[in-house]
């Protein structure tokens, strides 16, 4: 089994694809087994002219800027290293999709993966907390009592930590994360019909800051989105991940359904989102379609507190039992 982790540069301009700047992976004999081999390669960015503020904070971002290999050479080396291993695992459900998007951009073969274990979801099932709450890798490592020898946000070290956490997961939780093998026939997915009405470019809206990323996704600021034409608010019910970006939809009764894009980044004092109703360009449609293949994050609405109303008693009313 291949445990994969990636580090990438966030999109600039009109593009919405994350550019990979590091591929890290370890090979296990089986889920939870011993580490047999490892792969680590830094990649020189060439799609975007500079690193985003988030990417610059990565501990080895400087090595990407000075790397000799571009993505096609690094990706081919990774495919050669993987060999016939088609069972992959990752912390979350984003990395193999980002890898496939980068491969498609460079017109290279798709990743040879037939099943991918979402270790983050399996960890939640082992704890019995479900998909509604996603535990960060750092928290899972600390919970399992794994020594903090290496720094996080390094693709190789994060892959190694995720592999070590897999030994703590139950077999039932791991089995539930693996999708059935492909039959060679593409699955039919219900396409989303967006509103055909053109609308002006929408401003970005800040969401947060919140202590946890899930609170950003569940917040009213994130879920309630005004229609870009009549400003009537609609509600996002699910978010589909694509790297650090989440995609959702909301419906206006008069003008139809619209897409929503929200990037979530970690700040010094918590997590913050930036939400927008994007213009439906071809790259935006492709990014939404790629995100829609992933397991969604279901929003949970907070129950409103009901106020008790005390009716004033009239002169003709009597107390119960009188």
- What local confidence, expressed as pLDDT, does residue 127 receive? 87
For 281-299, letters b (16+ CB in 10 Å) and e give eeebeebbebbbebebbeb
178-208 pLDDT tens trace: 664 544 444 444 567 889 888 998 998 999 8
pLDDT band at 231 (very low <50, low <70, confident <90, very high): very high
Instruction: Choose between 237 and 175: higher pLDDT.
Output: 237
pTM exceeds cut of 0.75? no
pLDDT for the residue 320: 47
Q: What angle do CA 132, 265, 203 make, to 5 degrees?
A: 105
Domains and CATH numbers, the chain: 2-177 (3.30.420.10), 205-298 (no CATH)
Helix (H, G, I), strand (E, B) or coil at 182: coil
Residue 39 pairs with which residues in a beta bridge? Answer: 25
> Comparing 120 with 43, which gets the higher pLDDT?
43
For residue range 73-89, list pLDDT tens digits in order: 999 999 999 999 989 99
Name which of 145, 168, 146, 164 is nearest 156 in CA terms. Answer: 164
Q: For 174-178, 223-227, 229-233, which range has the lowest pLDDT when averaged over its residues?
A: 174-178
Rounded Cα distance between 53 and 51, Å, is 7
**14 pLDDT more than 80:** no
Say which DSSP state 134 is in: P
By C-alpha distance, which of 84, 115, 113, 93 is closest to 178?
115
User: What's the distance, CA 322 to chain centroid?
Assistant: 63
The pLDDT score that the predictor gives to residue 186 is 41
Q: What is the strand order of the sheet 205-210 is part of? A: 205-210, 270-276, 256-267, 245-252, 238-242, 297-298
Q: What is the pLDDT of residues 267-299, one digit of tens each?
A: 778 888 889 998 887 767 777 877 777 777 888
pLDDT band at 33, cuts 50/70/90? confident
pLDDT score recorded for residue 250:
94
Average pLDDT (228-237) is 93
Question: For the chain, what is the mean pLDDT?
Answer: 83
Which two structure tokens, joined as six digits, stand for 12? Answer: 């600039």
State residue 47's pLDDT score. 85
Q: Which residue has the higher pLDDT, 176 or 25?
A: 25
Q: Which pLDDT score is estimated for 133?
A: 62
At 125, the pLDDT band (50, 70, 90 cuts) reads confident
């Amino acid at each position: 089994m291949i445990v994969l982790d990636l580090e990438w540069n966030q999109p600039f301009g009109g593009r919405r694809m994350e550019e990979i700047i590091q591929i890290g992976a370890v090979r296990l004999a089986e889920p939870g087994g011993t580490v047999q081999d490892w792969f680590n390669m830094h990649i020189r960015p060439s799609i975007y002219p500079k690193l985003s503020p988030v990417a610059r904070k990565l501990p080895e971002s400087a090595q990407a800027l000075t790397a000799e290999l571009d993505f096609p050479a690094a990706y081919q080396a990774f495919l050669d290293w993987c060999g016939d291993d088609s069972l992959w695992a990752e912390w979350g459900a984003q990395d193999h999709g980002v890898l496939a998007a980068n491969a498609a951009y460079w017109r290279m073969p798709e990743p040879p993966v037939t099943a991918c274990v979402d270790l983050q979801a399996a960890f939640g099932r082992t704890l019995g907390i479900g998909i509604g709450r996603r535990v960060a890798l750092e928290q899972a490592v600390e919970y399992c009592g794994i020594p903090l020898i290496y720094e996080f946000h390094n693709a190789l070290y994060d892959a190694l930590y995720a592999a070590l956490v897999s030994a703590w997961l139950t077999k039932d939780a791991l089995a539930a994360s693996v999708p059935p093998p492909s039959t060679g026939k593409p699955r039919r997915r219900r396409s989303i019909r967006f509103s055909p009405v053109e609308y002006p470019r929408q401003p970005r809206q800040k969401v947060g800051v919140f202590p946890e990323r899930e609170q950003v996704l569940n917040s009213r600021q994130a879920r309630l989105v005004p229609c870009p034409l009549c400003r009537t608010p609609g509600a996002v019910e699910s978010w589909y991940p694509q790297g650090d970006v989440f995609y959702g939809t909301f419906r206006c009764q008069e003008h139809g359904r619209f897409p929503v894009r929200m990037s979530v980044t970690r700040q010094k004092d918590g997590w913050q989102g930036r939400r927008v109703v994007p213009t439906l360009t071809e790259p935006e449609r492709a990014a939404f379609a790629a995100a829609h293949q992933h397991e969604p994050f279901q929003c949970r609405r907070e129950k409103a507190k009901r106020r008790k109303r005390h009716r004033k008693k009239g002169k003709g009313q009597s107390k119960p039992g009188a």
